[in-house]
Amino acid sequence: MRRGVWGVVPAMLAALVLTGCEPTDDIGPDGVIRDLDGQALDADDRDADDDDDDGAGADDRDADDADDAAADDADVDELDAADDEADADAAELDAADDDAHDGEDSPRRWDVETSGLAFVPSYLEIRAGDSVRFDLGDDHDAVEVDEATWTANGSTPKAGGFSVGFGQKVEVPFPVAGTYHYVCTPHVDFGMKGRIVVKP
């Protein structure tokens, strides 16, 4: 009797290895593999169970990949929307600048200040009829000179040109198109000079 038992056990182990049965399967005394409900399982049933498990795992991975792709698309759309908004803001500013000069009765005032040994800004493009308000530090003046004097870092005033005294705050009109050069007379050698281009 003992020999019979020990003869059955290896056969059962071999059946487990060869058939690849799941832990939930059971081998009856007759050597037949059965499921938890007691139904006999053949090789096709077990293969179908394995295929179902593999298919479910693949479906889950595909769903995760689809979710990641959707999240990436959403991020790209958000960046595109931000770029469009920035472009719209820039266009609005350009339109506002154009509106500021629409019509003959809408001159614009510009500001020039001093910072250290420099006019800020040192270069302006404006339109005929606009004005520039100079707000100078106590040690600086703004005197118009001709182009040759300006290029040579000279300080000889231009006849009929504008002049803003030291530390003054003066608004200078520019009714005529052209290029206007000016310097700070005590600091022109340090490059303290400016230029205003007046367009028609």
Decide: helix, strand or coil at residue 138: coil
CB of 175 closer than 8 Å to CB of 162? no
**Per-residue model confidence as pLDDT tens for the chain (200 residues):** 444 444 544 555 444 444 444 444 455 555 555 655 666 555 555 555 555 555 555 556 666 666 666 656 665 566 566 556 656 655 554 555 555 555 556 899 999 999 999 999 999 999 999 999 999 999 999 999 999 999 999 999 999 999 999 999 999 999 999 999 999 999 999 999 999 999 99
Q: What CATH architecture applies to the domain 109-199?
A: Sandwich (2.60)
**C-alpha–C-alpha distance, residues 115 and 192, integer Å:** 10
Question: What six digits make up the tokens of 178?
Answer: 């052209």
Q: Which residues pair with 72 in a beta bridge?
A: none
Going from N- to C-terminal start, the domains of the chain cover 2-41, 109-199
